[in-house]
Chains A and B, each alone.
Chain A
Amino acid sequence: MTTDGATIRYRDPATRRYNRRMIVAMFSYIVLLISVQRGFPLDAMDGPARWVLAALPGLPIAAVFWLIGAMILDMHDEYLRLLEVRKAMIATGVTMTVVSIVGFLEMLGGAPHLPLFYVPVLWFGSLGVGQCANMLIERQRS
């Protein structure tokens, strides 16, 4: 409550920090991706310099996982934290299930190779599955 009695709707500071940092990470990703693709003749390069440049756009994506972890650790609201943890665990389970099966399909089933880049993409998409599972579980319990 504010001093004049007006009600403040709860917003966890950790979530606000996460949103701000996420914007920075996504902006960095776009800038790095465009800079590396357009600023350097990657096809004409070889060796460590090319590897470092090629890895650069992956860093902001990797940072997102750390940001999610930091948000979960910093969250003040323990019930919302439980929901976030469950969502991330479901996303991890879905991703690991899919990549395990795809791995054997590639190795034994002659399926085309799936670039590793799609693993984090799949995980981010699976967060939606986790969100739906949260809604269903909570609705079932109420």
Chain B
Amino acid sequence: MINHLRALRAARGWSQQHLADLLEVSRQSVNAIETGRYDPSLPLAFKLAELFDLAIEDVFVSPSKEQ
């Protein structure tokens, strides 16, 4: 699933490791989500969106809207 995680993270100056610590997951998980290799569960997607103070659709692009 396409997402804006890398840009959102960069805008806050957070490293993947820092985001992983905030989410209480591994850095590999953040990397896998960021590069679209892994689609997170809904609870993790909500947690991510809440960390950035955004709605889920502002972080992840709906597959039906992908070009």
Contacts and interface: CB of A to CB of B under 8 A. Distances in A.
Is B truly associated with A? yes
Interface of A: 1, 7-10, 12, 76-80, 82, 138, 141-142
A78 B37 contact: no
Given A1-B21, A7-B21, A10-B20, A80 B35 contact: no
Is chain B's interface secondary structure helix, strand, loop, or mixed overall?
helix
A15 B21 CA distance: 17
Contacts of B41: 78
Interface string B13-44: 00001101110111111001101111011001
Chain B interface extent, by class: 20 to 34
Interface of B: 17-18, 20-22, 24-29, 32-33, 35-38, 40-41, 44
B29 A79 contact: yes
B26 A77 contact: yes
A80 B38 CA distance: 10
Given A7-B17, A79-B38, A82-B38, A1 B22 contact: yes
A76 B40 contact: no
Nearest to A81: B29
A142 B37 contact: yes
A77 B25 CA distance: 5
Contacts of B21: 1, 7-8, 10
Report the 8 A-B pairs with minimum CB-CB distance, sorted nearest first: A79-B29, A141-B37, A10-B26, A77-B25, A79-B38, A79-B32, A77-B26, A142-B35
B42 to A, nearest CB: 11
A1 B20 CA distance: 10
A78 B41 CA distance: 8
